[in-house]
Structure 1
Amino acid sequence: MKTNRKKNKTVAIASLVVAFLATSFGSAYAAAQLEPINAFFNRGVSFVLNGERWQPQNEEGRPLAAIYYDGNNYLPVRALAEALNIPIDFDPATQHIYIGAKRAVKTPMFAVPMEIDHIYAVLTRDPKETNVHDRQFGEVLKIDQYGDVILTLDRKFKRLVLDAAVVSPGEHEAEISLYNAGDKAGNTASTVLEMHKVAPDEGIKTLVFDVEGLDKVKLHVQSHQLNPYIYARILDTSFLDNGDAAEKDGSKATGSK
């Protein structure tokens, strides 16, 4: 490619938004909000991320170059956020780009991608199973002996807030342990990051786990005595959010209502 052709290549800001954020705009919105500029692909710069060479890529895996405009080099926000392990999301309804955690948003636990050990742990909407300490719920995860639940979080949340209980005829305390189940967990996958307990006489108890920065987590539910039937229940009022994990006060019992 000739040098003068390379220097004169311009890009409209609308094209940048499509390439970098994979979003789309209606013509009416574009006419009101988008302002054309002259910019250049700066293929002369290279990137070093945490001491190693790094090449930003789009969602199809094609290399991306920095954009040079008004004396500054601009990088694609999605590629950079993902490289820095920071969650990023775009809301087309509000035209908001979220970099990092979304505050004040609660996501039901049962709404995120979930893998369940179906031998002793199952989701159920059976009214007989979803009546927990005289409260009727729409859906519960029942673990009668032990079970593993893997949740895909994609680093979008700081807290996992579980409402849990042990129901009749359960006589043993249930331990709920949190593990890092991400692809890069390595040897740490077998390390308990956090563990909370709920006893039969505690009614419905709220357990708060710190999940900040984790792609996937595993919840392992069992009795400390390993084998007895515990009849544990995780309720559909459990959720994930971005409340300040540092302010959590641990588990608290809400009691039967």
Structure 2
Amino acid sequence: MKNKKMGIILAFVAAVLASSYGSAYAAANLEPINAYFNRGVSFVLKGELWQPKDEDGNLLTAIHYEGSNYLPVRALAEALKIPIEFDAVSQKIYIGGKPAEKTPIFAMPMEIDNIYAILSKDPKETMVKNKQFQEVLKIDQYGDVIFTTDRKYKRLVLDAAVVSPGEHEVEFSLYNASDNAANTAQTILKKLTVKPDDDVKKLIFNVEGLEKIKIHVQSPNLNPYIYARILDTSYFDNGDPAATAGSKEAPSK
């Protein structure tokens, strides 16, 4: 113990995620192991020296066990800008977001152009294509809406339409609105079009890995009046992959 700091790891990942386990769960699922803190190993992340830390800013040390070095999965996920969440009920660690979970678009942190893009709950304005909705984002000329996603989602699914008296096609363009986007902030990542004679149209954008996004809405010919609507049935999600089974630490070896 003096020359080699031998530790007993009891579900290292769970400890880092600040989980609380009852004695019954521990007895059935936690197994003690003998391992070493490997204070000699260092990490280089994308060409730069990297020091893993926990949520409180405390330095973390790799653990050496049976030939491999291990680090808490949260430290690695956050360093690689991958969302991570622990579900204490199911005892699952979700890396990359919870599958099939939907977050309604208007429940998200958002900024809108209040001159030409306005949230409305007026029943006359929420009647779209003969269907009544609770809330819409109405964009009668052109507008921007910015969402803070914090890399938690893979997709933005927009339900959109052009309503009467709209006569023109409307483009919905996705941009990276992160503070670190630099020159790429002007690059259109994806552009989709809705026509006046379309019913409510589902537009799917890939937003994986993005911290903040912008949806710009306008006519491709810069026609002044477009009468576009984004509906409250729109949402962010992570697709529908099979749920991640179990949890493991990621080896750094």
Q: Distance in 2 between matches of 1:191 and 1:81?
A: 27
Q: Distance in 2 between matches of 1:137 and 1:22?
A: 41
Structure of greater relative contact order (alpha carbons < 8 Å, 6+ residues apart): 2
1:212 to 188, 208, 212: 208
**Is the contact between residue 106 and residue 241 of structure 1 (CA under 8 Å) also seen in structure 2?**
yes
1:145 to 138, 141, 146: 141
Secondary structure of 1:202's match?
Answer: coil
Distance 1:230 1:34, change over 3 A: same
Deviation sequence 1:98-146 (CA, Å, 0-9, x none): 1235433333222332222222222222222211111011221111222
Match of 2:227 in 1: 231
2:25 to 11, 24, 29: 29
1:107 to 87, 103, 106: 103
Q: Of Structure 1 and Structure 2, which has the larger fraction of its residues in helix? A: 1
Report the CA distance between 1:233 and its aligned residue.
0.5
Report the CA distance between 1:191 and its aligned residue.
0.9
Number of residue pairs matched by the alignment = 240
The letter of the residue matching 1:206 is K
2:193 to 182, 194, 197: 197
2:154 to 153, 158, 183: 158
Match of 1:50 in 2: 46
2:179 paired with 1:187: no
1:78 to 74, 81, 89: 74
Match of 1:136 in 2: 132
- Please say which of residues 17-26 and 156-165 is displaced more in the overlay: 17-26
2:232 paired with 1:240: no
The letter of the residue matching 2:148 is T
**Is the contact between residue 168 and residue 223 of structure 2 (CA under 8 Å) also seen in structure 1?**
no
Q: Distance in 1 between matches of 2:114 and 2:21?
A: 43
Structure 2: runs of 5+ lacking an equivalent: 241-253
Report the CA distance between 1:6 and its aligned residue.
6.5
Distance 1:60 1:226, change over 3 A: farther
Report the CA distance between 1:97 and its aligned residue.
0.5
Distance 1:25 1:110, change over 3 A: farther
Q: Distance in 2 between matches of 1:124 and 1:34?
A: 52
The letter of the residue matching 2:99 is R
The letter of the residue matching 1:164 is A
Report the CA distance between 1:209 and its aligned residue.
1.6
Secondary structure of 1:10's match?
Answer: strand
Q: Distance in 2 between matches of 1:181 and 1:22?
A: 32
The letter of the residue matching 1:151 is F
Match of 1:7 in 2: 4
Q: Distance in 1 between matches of 2:80 and 2:13?
A: 20
Report the CA distance between 1:159 and its aligned residue.
2.2
- Please say which of residues 101-110 and 170-179 is displaced more in the overlay: 101-110
Q: Distance in 2 between matches of 1:153 and 1:211?
A: 8
Deviation sequence 1:154-178 (CA, Å, 0-9, x none): 3233322211011122233221111
**Is the contact between residue 19 and residue 58 of structure 1 (CA under 8 Å) also seen in structure 2?**
no
Report the CA distance between 1:235 and its aligned residue.
0.8
